[in-house]
Every structure is written in C-alpha cells, then in structure tokens.
Structure 1
Amino acid sequence: MTETWDIEKVAELMGITKDAAYHRRTYRPELMPPAIKVGRFIRFDPETVRAWMKEHTEQGMHDRA
C-alpha cells in the first residue's frame, strides 16, 4: 500500500494550521499541493507534496524565470 498524508501532516509541513489548509484548498487551491479524494477524505501523495513545495519555494520560483 502506498503511503499518503492527511491534510494535518501537509499543513504541519507548510507551517500553517489545519483550518488554514482547508481554507486554502477551498478558496485558494493554487496555494496547496494537488490532493487525492478518497471517499470523503483528502489525501496527499508525499512525493507530489515534496515536488510542489520545491517548485513553490523562493529558489524554485526563481529557477522558473
């Protein structure tokens, strides 16, 4: 079985609250990594989260320019 993270784990890694993560996912989805919907639960692939976070760091943003 492939490991997945819940929104609390992703929020912790991003340094935000769980509520802030849910708010971003609903109203500002570009500020959250892509998620997988499993029934009524939201799960995240760890490798996708790591890649998204790397791409959205200050350095990663400069690399795209």
Structure 2
Amino acid sequence: MGRGRAKAKQTKVARDLKYRTQDTDFGALARELHGGSEHPVESEQDVDYGVWSDYSEDSRD
C-alpha cells in the first residue's frame, strides 16, 4: 500500500505547527524535555534496600 494517507496527515500536522498563531511556552517545553521538578528522580541514597532483603542470597538458605 502507498503511504498517501500517512503523508497527508504528516503534511497537515506540519502545516498546523508552522502557521499556528498561538504563543509557544518554551519554558514549559524545556522543563518537559529536561525533566522538571514535578517528578523528581529518586537517587540511590533514597532507595530503601531493606524491602529487598528478603531476596538476598543469605536469606535463601
């Protein structure tokens, strides 16, 4: 099958993005791309390894 329908949709989306008159919030875009403070990444020090102690080699004996 041809890709006519998919290409038409891509063209429509590209045209919409190109000629859109709304202001773009570049700050929000940067936060989304770089990982804003809304979803902090858990550091290795914050992980509670006590939960996994049941699965260690010593407890299998």
Query: TM-score scaled to structure 1, two decimals?
Result: 0.22
In terms of fraction of residues, the more strand-rich structure is 1
Query: TM-score scaled to structure 2, two decimals?
Result: 0.23
